[in-house]
Structure 1
Amino acid sequence: MDDLDFSGLTDDQIIELAVGLAREAMRRNPALQAAFAQALLDERERVEAAARGARRARREAAHALEQQTHRAAAAIAREQRRQRVQTTLAAYLVRLAELIEKPASDLTLVWKPKDYGRGPGPRLQVNQGTTGAEVLWHLLDFVEMDQRLYTSPGLHARQAQLLPWCRETAAAVHALGIDRTIVIKGIET
C-alpha cells in the first residue's frame, strides 16, 4: 500500500480522505476502528520520529560545519603564525649574514628551548650549511641563561659585535612565543 500515489490530491482533499476513512472504519466494526486508530498512532509516531531524526541530523550537520570552520580558522591562524615566525627569524638571519660577511643561504638558525650541552636552558645556534639542528659544530652558540656566546675560531674576534644580535634574536623568539625547537634555513629565505 506504500506505492499509492496521492500527489495529485490537494491538502484539503487529503484531509477529507482521512476523515472519510476514519468514519468508514468506525461504521464497519469495533475491531477495524481499533486497528485504524492504532495505525494512525503508529504512523504519527513514525512521522514524529522521522522529524526528530531530521532535526538531529540538521543539528549534527550544523555542528560538524561549525567544527570544520573552527579547524579551518585554526589552520589559517597557525599558518599565519608560522609565516610570521619564518619571516621575522629569516630577517635576523640575513642581518647576521651581513655581520659575519657570509651568504645567508649558507647559514641555518636554530632555536632550542631546552638544551644541556653548555648549560641548561634555551640556546640560539647558527650553523654553516643547511644541516639543521643536528650538528656538532656551530658558528655561533648562544646560551641564553648565562648570556654566554661561543663562536667558531674565525668569529671569535667579533664576539662583542655578535652578542647584541644574539640577545635581540633571543628576545624576538620569546616575543613570538616560540616554545619548541625551530630551524630557519637561509637557503629557504
Structure 2
Amino acid sequence: MTKKIMEKAREDKREGKSPSTQAGEFVRDEIEKVRQGKHGARSTQQAIAIGLSEARRAGVDLPPPEKGKVKESTRKSAEYAYEAGQGERKPKRRPRVSKAVSKVLEREPKNTASHEALSQQAKRAASRRTAEERSAAAEKAADTKGASGRSAAARKAVRTKGTRGRKQAARKSARTRTHHA
C-alpha cells in the first residue's frame, strides 16, 4: 500500500467525498497491479473486493456489506478488515497464509482487469440500481466536484463527445446550479 494512495484517499475525505469514493483509490491501484501482471484475479469482482479490503484495512470508513448481500465468508472477511482498519483488533501476521494466497493469485487470469471486463462489470452494477439511485449519485458527484471540476468535465465532454457532449454538459451544469442555488 503506497503513501500516494493513502494521501489521495485522505484528500477525497477532506473534500467530503463518500467512503466508497475514497476506497476507489485502492480499487484503482489493485486493478493496476493486475494489469501489470503482479498478480491475477478470478473475476473483476475479486479484484474490486481486494481493493475494498485494502481500503478497509487502511482505515477508510467503509462498513462491511449487510447480511444476505454477499457470501457469508466475504462478509466476515470485510468485517475483519474493517475492524483492523478502525483499530478495534490487532491483525495477526500469518506469513504462510499470505504467501499461499499470493501464489494462488499469481496463477489467476490477468484479463479480468481489462477495459472491456471493467466496462461490463460497471454496466452490471449500474443495472442493479434504480434510475433514482443513479441520478442521486450523479448529483452528489457534481456537488463534490466543485465549479472548476465541473468546468474541466465540460471541457472533456467537448473533447470526447463533440457538440453533443457540450450541450449535455451545459444542461447538467445548469441543472446542478439551479438545484443548489
Give the TM-score normalised by the residue count of structure 2.
Answer: 0.23
Q: Comparing both structures, which one devotes a greater share of its residues to helix?
A: 2
Max radius of gyration: which structure? 1
Structure having the larger proportion of residues in strand:
1
* TM score, norm. by length of structure 1: 0.22
